[in-house]
Amino acid sequence: MRWEERINNYVKETGFPRSLFIAEDGRVVGTWIMGNDYRVRSAYYGGYPATYLRRIRALFPDKRRVLHLFSGHVDLAELPGDTVDINPALNPTYVDDAQTLKKVPLHLYDLVLADPPYSVEDAERYQTSMIKRNLVMRALQRLSPGAHVVWLDQVLPMYRKDIFDVEAVIGMWKSTNHRFRGITIFRRRERKEASVIAAAPSHTGVDV
Ligand SMILES: C[S@@+](CC[C@H](N)C(=O)[O-])C[C@H]1O[C@@H](n2cnc3c(N)ncnc32)[C@H](O)[C@@H]1O
């Protein structure tokens, strides 16, 4: 599905204003102002704001197998899928560390939503250690080509440019006194494409 179609579907399905655009370099850029409906329905610390999952679902109507990484109390009625969290008390599909994802058959999923703790202070709220983002992105390299990763954070994680493309960046505003966040949407590149680029020294552009 092309991004133009994704954006059209987003406007049609959500009724929100057209706020995503294809820039001249082909990348999608935009801003979501979450407005008054920014509450976290589950009341879980750091949970997705009310309309977040509906917006993502509308952008990816073609996806069949969704994985919620750092799943917390994610609302599966809004976007059904399997879940991964390190905390067994949350009853995820997989109790696993996102930095290795040893138990997760990643090749089966075509859309991953990741919502990590953003800081040491945030991690303390979950009684976990702060994650190393590059390790999570490294584990996600096992996704199949064409799979997308929707990463919500205050930091752009380190990733390999020969393995992931950044297809979209979306700024997310809540209400006053809330932190700004950014959504980075990665696509797992085709294997052939990745190996050709890896073999060409002038194109490696590797961050990790
Ligand atoms: C920001 S919250 C996610 C909230 C979720 N989006 C929601 O709507 O409820 C971050 C979650 O990451 C989990 N977590 C922290 N470190 C982790 C790790 N290394 N691996 C997997 N999950 C982890 C925490 O237990 C917490 O539930």
Structure tokens at 112: 């991953």
Question: Region 93-116: what's the mean pLDDT?
Answer: 98
Nearest CA to ligand 1 atom 27: 72
- Name the DSSP class of 175: S
145 Cβ closer than 6 Å to some ligand 1 atom:
no
Residue 89 is predicted with a pLDDT of 96
Residue 39 is predicted with a pLDDT of 65
Cα 204 to Cα 206: distance, rounded to the nearest angstrom? 5
Asked whether the beta carbons of 80 and 53 are under 8 A apart, the reply is: no
Is 50 exceeded by the pLDDT of residue 202? no
Biggest CA pair distance of the chain: 50
Is-above-0.85 flag for pTM? yes
99 Cβ closer than 6 Å to some ligand 1 atom:
yes
CA-based R_g, the chain, Å: 17
- Name the DSSP class of 146: T
**CATH numbers and ranges of domains, the chain:** 3-203 (3.40.50.150)
Is 50 exceeded by the pLDDT of residue 207? no
Please choose, from the candidates 43, 40, 42, 36, the residue with its C-alpha nearest in 3D space to the C-alpha of residue 16: 36
Nearest CA to ligand 1 atom 26: 72
Cα 38 to Cα 183: distance, rounded to the nearest angstrom? 16
Asked whether the beta carbons of 52 and 60 are under 8 A apart, the reply is: no
| Average of per-residue pLDDT values in the chain | 90
Is 60 exceeded by the pLDDT of residue 7? yes
Cα 35 to Cα 46: distance, rounded to the nearest angstrom? 17
Residue 195 is predicted with a pLDDT of 54
Residue 100 is predicted with a pLDDT of 98
Distances (CA, A) of 36 to 9, 33, 49, 197: 23, 9, 10, 45
Structure tokens at 26: 């082909």
Is 50 exceeded by the pLDDT of residue 200? no
Angle at which helix 52-59 crosses helix 3-14, to 10 degrees, equals: 140
Band of residue 36 on the pLDDT scale cut at 50, 70, 90: low
Question: Region 10-30: what's the mean pLDDT?
Answer: 97
Residue 176 is predicted with a pLDDT of 80
Residue 191 is predicted with a pLDDT of 75
Residues 6+ apart with CB under 8 A from 69: 84, 98, 112, 113, 114, 115, 116, 136
Residue 44 is predicted with a pLDDT of 80
Residue 175 is predicted with a pLDDT of 77
For residue 122, the ligand 1 atom closest to its alpha carbon is: 1
Cα 60 to Cα 3: distance, rounded to the nearest angstrom? 10
131 Cβ closer than 6 Å to some ligand 1 atom:
yes
What separation in Å is there between the alpha carbon of 74 and the centre of ligand 1? 10
Band of residue 83 on the pLDDT scale cut at 50, 70, 90: very high
